[in-house]
């Protein structure tokens, strides 16, 4: 009887942990999507202000890493929201569409 009770407690704890992990994952995913969207919007606004802005300047203004900026720019390019015109040095960004339109 005592062993059965101990097994029930362990089972309940495992179930509770799994449920907690799933809730945490969902919350983290929602937060990440919101943060990513806000960052994308900020990048678009900065490009509107200065189409010649560099990744380094974007990183400094957004207070994120240059790799973070690169990731965001690639996502925006994949979504056909922005594109790069000209070479890496001396080129500029062009906004094709806004996220509201997509």
| Token reading at 48 | 């509107």
Q: Which residue has the tokens 């062009």?
A: 94
Q: Is the pTM of this model over 0.75?
A: no
Answer with the residue of higher pLDDT: 96 or 35. 96
The domains located in the chain, with CATH, are 51-102 (1.10.10)
82 bridge partner residues: 95
* Residue in 22, 25, 21, 23 with CA at minimum distance from that of residue 33: 25
Res. 57: pLDDT tops 80: yes
Res. 1: pLDDT tops 60: no
Answer with the residue of higher pLDDT: 95 or 3. 95
**Cβ atoms of 38 and 93 closer than 8 Å:** no
């Amino acid at each position: 009887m005592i062993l059965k009770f101990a097994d029930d407690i362990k089972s309940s704890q495992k179930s509770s942990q799994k449920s907690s992990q799933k809730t945490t994952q969902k919350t983290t995913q929602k937060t990440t999507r919101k943060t990513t969207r806000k960052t994308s919007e900020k990048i678009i606004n900065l490009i509107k202000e200065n189409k010649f802005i560099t990744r380094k300047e974007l990183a400094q203004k957004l207070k994120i890493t240059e790799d973070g900026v690169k990731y965001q720019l690639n996502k925006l390019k994949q979504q056909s929201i922005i594109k790069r015109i000209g070479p890496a040095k001396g080129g500029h960004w062009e906004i094709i569409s806004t996220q509201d339109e997509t």
